A and B are shown apart, each in its own frame.
Chain A
Amino acid sequence: MDINEKALLYRAQTGDRAAAETLYERYYLDIFTYLFYRVSDKTTAEKFSAEVFVRMIRRLPQFTNNKITFLAWLYEIARDLVEEKQSTCQPELITPEMMTPEHNSEDHSANRSFKLAIRQLNDQEKSIIVHRFVEGKSVKDLVKITKSSERAIQSLQHQALKSLQTALAKVTAL
């Protein structure tokens, strides 16, 4: 974390609106992309993204950047939110109807296949595919976000690619 981000976080923690807006604009896309591949559709991802940042500002005074980076902390909030929604009001964020071509008519076929395939992966695999290949983050970035070793990330990446390959085969067979 660079000095500018530390200063920005400190300002946001003391109630600076401009600093909070900057944080929102800087990290919104990362959170939205992550949520987009975890939930049913774009609208839900947008709604959840807004909720993540509201939770972020509530918990920000307690945030310390000694153990975790700010982005990793935001991903934790997003993951907790999705799990919470899944366990309470929406047990199945991806319904069987969503996997039909009619539901995703606005998507191109390749994108739709990928989107449907990735939703069949487990959370860890889903996260690593999104971070590593959709967002284009490096293995070192993933080490910071997931707090795992480089070797573990490489192993998980291999496993995730294999699972996605299988899932894609299933989706295209539909």
Chain B
Amino acid sequence: MMPNKFDRILENCLSRMDRGESLLDILAVYPDQAEKIKPLLMVAMLSRAVPQPVPGYTALRVGKNQLLAEMASMQAEGGFLEHKPVESPPAGFMDRWAKALKQLQPAYRFAMLSLVVILAGGFFTLSASASGLANNIMQTLFFSFEQVGDLLLVQPSPSKSMGDNLIFSSEYVLPDSPDNYSGDFKGWVFEDGKKDKNEPDPGAGEINAQIGTRQHTFSGNLAAGLDPLDVVPAVEELDAIDEKDLEKEEKEAEKDIAKEEKEAEKEADKAEKDAEKEEKKDEKDKDKDK
């Protein structure tokens, strides 16, 4: 028999012995090798039956004290490695989001997740309905999803009719101080972009009168990093500004009327004087003729 094969058989017998099989059972598996295996297994059993030596408690303590004393002397000499704190790897995008979500209150967390689900659901239902065919059997389902998505999604408020192709440009800058505020409507901005939105429309006054509303534009630059909501005047402030503007215009109108009346009076006086002069001239001419 090959020596390696016998070694494997012996190892197999020892493993069986470890599992608790009796010597007779093990030898019955290899009857041809039983005579050779038996003394070796007996020696192995004797070796396993030998109790493990137990060290004395005092020796154990003495050994530990020697170890600690050696450690103390090594520490004094600086013989140990320097402790380096393990640097955590930089957090990824998803890790940062997960961390931020964990820090939120459960209610806010639920709201955030719901919002994401609603938006994602709305997007998928709309895209699915857009790609649906007329004869598609899923068309009804797509329409249903679309309606649900429309209901769940925030509906924009209906736009007011302010004229054809009228848009509000986001490039209008907001005032950074009340001094920059101007109550004048500077002009229309058309979608085709043909007219410069910064160029005042010549007919702006008429349009203001027709619409009956007042448009506010702002001049000046918005400070960098400033929240527009903090800069936009409140409704009360706008109303107060409107009232001031109205009063100012009324005063100006009164002044204009007074001025026109004065001029009319002057013209009337002048006309009277001219008439008197002509009369006097005519009288002089008549006297000369005589």
**Contacts from A to B (Cβ < 8 Å):** 13-15, 17, 20-21, 24-25, 28-29, 32-33, 36, 42-43, 45-47, 49-50, 53-54, 56-58, 61, 110-111, 114-115, 129, 133-136, 139, 151, 154-155, 157-158, 161-162, 164-165, 168
A-B contact list, 14 entries, CB within 8 Å: A13-B80, A17-B68, A20-B67, A21-B64, A21-B67, A42-B56, A45-B53, A46-B62, A57-B70, A58-B70, A134-B52, A157-B14, A158-B10, A161-B43
Bound together, the chains give a CA A154 to CA B7 distance in angstroms of 6
- B44–A161 touching, CB < 8 Å: yes
- A15–B3 touching, CB < 8 Å: no
Given contacts A28-B55, A54-B67, 8 further A-B pairs with CB under 8 A are: A46-B55, A57-B71, A58-B70, A61-B80, A61-B81, A133-B44, A154-B8, A165-B40
> Known contacts A36-B53, A45-B53, A111-B51; is A17 also within 8 Å of B46 by CB?
no
Bound together, the chains give a CA A161 to CA B3 distance in angstroms of 14
By a CB distance below 8 angstroms, the chain B residues around A157 are 7, 10-11, 14
- Report the nearest A residue to B4, measured CB to CB: A151
The number of inter-chain residue pairs (CB within 8 angstroms) is: 123
- Report the nearest B residue to A150, measured CB to CB: B11
- B63–A28 touching, CB < 8 Å: yes
B288 within 8 A of A: no
Contact with A along B44-69 (1 / 0, CB 8 A): 10111111110110011011101110
- A15–B11 touching, CB < 8 Å: no
- Least CB distance from B68 to A in Å reads 6
Bound together, the chains give a CA A13 to CA B82 distance in angstroms of 9
Contact with A along B4-16 (1 / 0, CB 8 A): 1011101100100
- A155–B7 touching, CB < 8 Å: yes
> Known contacts A155-B7, A157-B7, A161-B40; is A24 also within 8 Å of B67 by CB?
yes
By a CB distance below 8 angstroms, the chain B residues around A50 are 59, 62-63, 66-67
> Known contacts A20-B67, A57-B71, A154-B10; is A32 also within 8 Å of B44 by CB?
no
Selected contact of A21 from candidates B55, B59, B68, B70, CB within 8 Å = B68
- Least CB distance from B52 to A in Å reads 6
Main secondary structure of the interface of B (DSSP, over half): helix
By a CB distance below 8 angstroms, the chain B residues around A29 are 52, 55
Bound together, the chains give a CA A40 to CA B75 distance in angstroms of 34
Main secondary structure of the interface of A (DSSP, over half): helix
Bound together, the chains give a CA A161 to CA B11 distance in angstroms of 12
- Least CB distance from A33 to B in Å reads 6
- Least CB distance from A13 to B in Å reads 5
- Count of chain B residues with Cβ under 8 Å from any Cβ of A? 40
- Least CB distance from B61 to A in Å reads 10
Bound together, the chains give a CA A153 to CA B68 distance in angstroms of 37
> Which residues of chain B in 1-33 are interfacial with respect to chain A, using CB atoms and an 8 Å cutoff?
3-4, 6-8, 10-11, 14
- A165–B53 touching, CB < 8 Å: no
- Least CB distance from A15 to B in Å reads 4
Selected contact of A110 from candidates B7, B8, B49, B83, CB within 8 Å = B49
- Report the nearest A residue to B7, measured CB to CB: A154
> Which residues of chain B in 79-97 are interfacial with respect to chain A, using CB atoms and an 8 Å cutoff?
79-83
By a CB distance below 8 angstroms, the chain B residues around A133 are 44, 47-48
By a CB distance below 8 angstroms, the chain B residues around A47 are 59
- A20–B71 touching, CB < 8 Å: yes
- Report the nearest A residue to B59, measured CB to CB: A46
- Least CB distance from B17 to A in Å reads 10
- A114–B67 touching, CB < 8 Å: no
Bound together, the chains give a CA A45 to CA B14 distance in angstroms of 29
- Least CB distance from A150 to B in Å reads 9
By a CB distance below 8 angstroms, the chain A residues around B48 are 133-134, 136
B158 within 8 A of A: no
Name, among B43, B51, B79, the residue most crowded by chain A CB atoms within 10 Å (CB to CB).
B43
B106 within 8 A of A: no
